[in-house]
Amino acid sequence: MLIYFSKMQGLGNDFMIIENLNQKFILSKKIIKKLSNRNLGIGFDQLLLVEKHNNRNFDFFYRIFNANGSEVENCGNGARCLAKFLFEKRLTKKNLIHVETYGGQLILYINKTNLISVNMGKPLIKGFKKIKTNISYFKLLELFIVRIGNPHAILIVSNINKIPVNLIGKFIENNLFYTEKFNVGFMQIISPFSIKLRVFERGVGETLACGTGACAAASVGITLGYLHKNIKVVLPGGKLKIKWLGGLNHSLYMIGSVKKVFDGCIYLTK
């Protein structure tokens, strides 16, 4: 079956976006893994699937699949790319879009300068955990556990360039909890207004950017009093702005740009 899609990226974090509103198909884990292959397929970090929502309070429901075919709850950079996709494809005329994922509700806003702001909801910092490893120089890791639609483990490090992100990230992904796998963020605090961040995404590996990872890291720094309530997050793929007043009663906002890479169509095969 022939399907139409868009390839989009936010700070180098790239997505294949497909609308399941006017075209019908079935995506298996095997097909998604084929599509994600950067040599033999389209190539992406995540696939986003736009669907109708049964609740009139929402404009759309969308699903998120990692490159390995596993389905996840939320994706911040993906949400910003989704907003641009919906608007450019004229699937909505709104610049304030209400969507829902399996991780919860999101409000997407496209401003006049084409930056996209996402109301990510309220981050939930679930505590502090120590984990022992068999990795040289990193025998004991101190992690902050955060959920912002999806689960993150945040480490504060002194020099982000010296961290073996994929090695440690893979260890934490597989050994932190038995019930679910975690994304892992490595945060270096530059000043009260700026951090550097590298993120290992479960089912993908290190990516150029991670929106929910940036939100999770910022929420930890703000809660601990290390960071201001309006900060810049510098990722390998670019910069994001995060705003959060802290506490349980305030939503966190993420602001950044996105770009369309190309539109295309492809035959789905088993």
Q: Residues with catalytic annotation?
A: 75, 210
- Determine the distance from the C-alpha atom of residue 116 to the mean position of all C-alpha atoms in its chain, rounded to a whole number: 14
- Determine the distance from the C-alpha atom of residue 51 to the mean position of all C-alpha atoms in its chain, rounded to a whole number: 19
Taking alpha carbons only, the member of 184, 189, 197, 269 closest to residue 236 is 197
Distances (CA, A) of 85 to 61, 158, 166, 268: 14, 38, 31, 21
Cα separation, 160 vs 142, whole angstroms: 15
Q: Which two tokens stand for residue 84?
A: 């641009």
Taking alpha carbons only, the member of 11, 69, 81, 10 closest to residue 35 is 69
8 Å CB contact between 270 and 4: no
